[in-house]
């Protein structure tokens, strides 16, 4: 009866080097801009969902949208619509940022096909 042996090397032995991968200045600026965009959009989402739906609900209820008080509308539907809009905005904006710093996936796909 033969015993199966594994030829899997321990982590760090095959093809792994001890070199640290350094990021370029362009990559640092790209990530800085990406994090700034994400932070800004998260603040907007928080203000809309928590602020309009909870904190400012009573004041917003003096206005109506579709026959419903505006504070109620933001708590139930408005924050979701804003969130979906922020996702589309992020997708559009990050695509522009990636093109600016030459890390666009679409561009590398075109280069691979050529």
* Residue boundaries of the structural domains of the chain: 26-101
86 and 78 Cβ atoms separated by less than 8 Å: no
pLDDT tens for the chain, 114 residues long, are 555 555 555 555 555 555 666 777 888 899 999 999 999 999 999 998 888 888 888 998 999 988 989 888 888 888 899 999 999 999 999 999 999 988 877 765 565 565
| b/e map 17-50, b = 16+ CB within 10 Å | eeeeeeeeeeeeebeeebeeeeeebeebbeebbe
3-state secondary structure of 65: strand
Is the pTM of the predicted complex or chain greater than 0.75? no
3-state secondary structure of 68: strand
């Amino acid at each position: 009866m033969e015993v199966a042996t594994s030829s899997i090397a321990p982590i760090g032995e095959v093809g792994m080097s001890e070199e640290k991968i350094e990021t370029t200045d362009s990559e640092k600026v790209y990530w800085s801009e990406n994090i700034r965009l994400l932070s800004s959009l998260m603040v907007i989402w928080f203000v809309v969902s928590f602020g309009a739906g909870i904190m400012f609900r009573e004041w917003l209820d003096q206005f109506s949208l579709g026959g419903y008080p505006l504070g109620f509308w933001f708590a139930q539907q408005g924050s979701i619509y804003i969130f979906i809009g922020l996702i589309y905005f992020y997708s559009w904006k990050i695509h522009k940022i990636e093109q600016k710093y030459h890390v666009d996936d679409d561009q590398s796909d075109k280069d691979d096909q050529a």
